[in-house]
Amino acid sequence: MNSSRPVTIKDIARRFRCSPSTVSRALNDHPAINEDTRKNIQEYAREVGYQRNEVSLSLLNKKTASLGVVVPTISNYYETAVIEGLHTVLQPMGYTLNICVTNESYLLEKESLSKLLSNRTEGIFLSVSQETYDAGYYEHLENVIQRKTPLIFIDREYEDFETSRATVDDYHGAFAAVEHLVSIGYKQIAHLKGPNGLTVSEQRFKGYINCLKKYNMPIREELILNTNFNVESAILPTKRLLELASPPDAIFGVNDQVAIGAMRVAKDRGLRIPQDIGLVGFDNSPISAYTFPSLTTVHRPGRKIGMEASRLFLNQLNGSGDFSPESIVLPSELVIRESSLRI
């Protein structure tokens, strides 16, 4: 009863008193194999549940058909949407996705990449961790580049490498969001910013600032507070905003989670949205359409980013000889809902 050891081609060959080559060819419908031999072998193989050992093939062909996805987290809507996009394109092509979560840690990111390279992963999709970004350590990436393993940056980019990248136009999205608030007539617009240093945070922040400048609105430092992308982290900063001597009449949150946190605090204080205070988020997460009032937000096409990133990978893979990296910047789109529609 040793059914645990997988059946190999050699086992089958022994059974038929023929060579492994014959079995291999029979199973692969090679034309030079006798019809009867082929049938018998195929039937027997099915019977005993033969399943090709892809590991040996990987070694032989130097193709693993596996790709690495290295991301700081998978507990946000956006990240999973990206992964889903990658999956949608790449799974049908036979690729397997190896997901590595770094928890924003440089060390884990480094180890993950090293592991992926050791496993001869054929491509890596990377959204760098905050620690990496902060420290500016990029030696661990040199290795990937040197190996000529296609490396695609997602969202959090890094300028110094000749790699492809797929990002969302955070800047113009943020700009449009704030411009919308201005156009409605809000005068004191606060920003619940993401963690300092991250491209995503900084781009949206820049959009916020530049829009205020464009419309000659004062930039009040005390209206800009940091959050950590999640709901909880928005609670305290929002309270502080609302306790100011001259509180804001609108808040632009770095993402929907943060905006929803702010919404909660505002409602607790009895403020009416959007009459007393306007709110805008970012991401267009599924829930944003169903808060009460529904949340004005900026659509961030995660699925599309994943699909575009796949395309960039495939381009680089099939690139004839010299490959030149592409940068895809997908537009983000303002989605106007109730939370900002003061009449």
Query: Minimum distance between the CB of residue 151 and DNA, rounded to whole angstroms?
Result: 21
Among 26, 41, 71, 81, binds its own copies (CB under 8 A): 81
Which residues would be at the binding site for DNA (CB under 7 A)? 5-6, 8-10, 17-22, 24-25, 27-28, 32-35, 37, 50, 52-53, 56-57, 59-60, 62
| Residue whose CB is less far from DNA, 53 or 103 | 53
Query: Minimum distance between the CB of residue 315 and its own copies, rounded to whole angstroms?
Result: 17
Query: Minimum distance between the CB of residue 225 and its own copies, rounded to whole angstroms?
Result: 17
Query: Minimum distance between the CB of residue 78 and DNA, rounded to whole angstroms?
Result: 37
With CB under 5 to 8 Å by kind, the binding choice for 27 among its own copies, DNA, none is DNA
Residue 126: left (phi > 0), alpha (psi -120 to 50), or beta?
Answer: beta
How far apart CA 136 and CA 253 sit, in angstroms, is 27
Note if the bond before 331 is cis, omega within 30 degrees: no
With CB under 5 to 8 Å by kind, the binding choice for 25 among DNA, its own copies, none is DNA
Q: Is the Cβ–Cβ distance between 267 and 273 less than 8 Å?
A: yes
Among 21, 114, 183, 275, binds its own copies (CB under 8 A): 114
DSSP state of 104: T
| Residue whose CB is less far from its own copies, 199 or 291 | 291
Cα angle 18, 24, 25 (rounded to 5 degrees) comes to 95
Query: Minimum distance between the CB of residue 31 and DNA, rounded to whole angstroms?
Result: 7
Q: Which helix (H) or strand (E) holds 22?
A: helix 20-27
Q: Which of 240, 206, 200, 207 is nearest to 223 (CA)?
A: 240
Among 290, 321, 324, 343, binds its own copies (CB under 8 A): 290
Among 83, 200, 212, 295, binds its own copies (CB under 8 A): 83
With CB under 5 to 8 Å by kind, the binding choice for 64 among its own copies, DNA, none is its own copies
Q: Which residues from 292-311 bind its own copies, rule CB under 8 A?
A: 292, 294
User: Token pair for residue 60?
Assistant: 């032989």
With CB under 5 to 8 Å by kind, the binding choice for 99 among DNA, its own copies, none is its own copies
Q: In sequence order, what DSSP letters do the residues of 27-77 get, joined into one string?
A: HTT-TTS-HHHHHHHHHHHHHHT----HHHHHHHHT---EEEEEES-S-SH
Q: With contacts defined by CB under 8 A, name the span among 94-102, 167-175, 184-192, 314-322 that binds its own copies.
A: 94-102
Q: Which residues from 228-257 bind its own copies, rule CB under 8 A?
A: 230-232, 257
How far apart CA 157 and CA 315 sit, in angstroms, is 19
Q: Please, what sign has the CA dihedral across residues 275, 169, 66, 70?
A: negative
Contacts made by residues 153-159, CB under 8 angstroms, sequence distance 24+? 153/126, 153/127, 153/128, 154/71, 154/82, 154/125, 154/126, 154/127, 154/305, 154/306, 154/309, 155/82, 155/127, 155/199, 155/200, 155/305, 156/127, 156/128, 156/198, 156/199, 156/200, 157/199, 158/128, 158/133
Q: Which residues from 153-192 bind its own copies, rule CB under 8 A?
A: none
Does position 4 interact with its own copies (CB under 8 A)? The reply is yes
Q: Which amino acid is at 100?
A: C
Among 18, 27, 89, 97, binds its own copies (CB under 8 A): 97
How far apart CA 280 and CA 289 sit, in angstroms, is 12
Catalog residues that contact its own copies under the rule CB under 8 A.
Answer: 3-4, 6, 49, 51-56, 58-59, 64, 66, 74-75, 77, 80-81, 83-84, 87, 91, 96-101, 114-115, 117-120, 143, 146-148, 230-232, 257, 260-261, 263-264, 267-268, 286-287, 289-292, 294
